[in-house]
Structure 1
């Protein structure tokens, strides 16, 4: 099901404000100090948890891209590269960079904004292996994809709540 893009819909969710709210919530869930500026090192100890979270956020919206572009596997490949890093801990900057740039390139010029945002979510998610706070970008783009798909600005809070509940679950598991 593809929803016609309505101009102004994404502006109503105010991405900068939403990212701020996500950062604040993530800081609270992970029991980290919240600062006005993103401090990548604050979240470094939680990089694996945030990578899993980012992968799941991006995977949740990946069908938005794949149903429109079934022959383009770049966003899925980005998430696979992230899962490989999560599973093995083997870091390859070349592989991470390529997967991220390829996923973002897949988003370029797409008129279906839900598909484009889903591809961007995958590109941000894989970047979490390099810079932990890219997980925040994956969450934000996933929310934007859901809003674009549903054409309902209220779906942003529902998706954000789902994301934060998932992160809370992973944080509790890590503490046990």
Structure 2
């Protein structure tokens, strides 16, 4: 097996910069909601394909929704979310499922650290690429998939984005 990249894309890629600029003008809740919905629809099925009985990722996404709806406290959500990291480690040797678990790990931690939202793009693109073409293609092929998938992610955020959001997230990307 080829050496597998944990994530696809780079912080200075035009499609990542475009996504970052859109994220910067949205509220924390909008960003969290977008990450969670996108991951549930597009990333979770990649993990569930090989681990249909493992509910940790789905439970983490549900915990984020419950937190957004004020049904559970942050500390309760964090306990459930922590299980995703364990699932990702346990998926070693399954690049698509492991990248999906990492993407959901990043997605769900946006409730605490909104900059984790970029993990959806980096790890999510890897999960989708590894599922669709495996791990033995040239870097350019993966870069093209990452660009395409990040564009889809940005389109999904644009659909729920608040125009002239009065309370945009305070973000320092550190990248």
- Normalising by structure 1, we get a TM-score of 0.75
Counterpart residue number, 2:149? 159
- Normalising by structure 2, we get a TM-score of 0.75
SS at match of 1:150: helix
Counterpart residue number, 1:28? 21
1:48-88 deviation per Cα after TM superposition (whole angstroms, max 9, x unaligned): 111111112321111111121111100111110111122x1
Query: CA separation of 1:135/1:89 partners in 2, compared to 1, >3 Å: closer, same or farther?
Result: farther
Conserved 8 A contact 1:100-1:123: yes
Task: Single out whichever of 151-160 and 18-27 deviates more from structure 2.
Answer: 18-27
1:124 aligns with 2:114: no
Unaligned runs of 5+ in 1: 1-5, 33-44
- How is 1:29-48 mapped onto 2 (pairs within 5 angstroms)? 29-30=22-23, 32=25, 46-48=27-29
CA RMSD, Structure 1 to Structure 2 (Å): 2.8
Higher relative contact order (CA 8 A, sep 6+): 2
Unaligned runs of 5+ in 2: 134-140, 166-175
1:10 aligns with 2:5: yes
Aligned residues: 156
1:73-111 deviation per Cα after TM superposition (whole angstroms, max 9, x unaligned): 00111110111122x145623223222210111111322
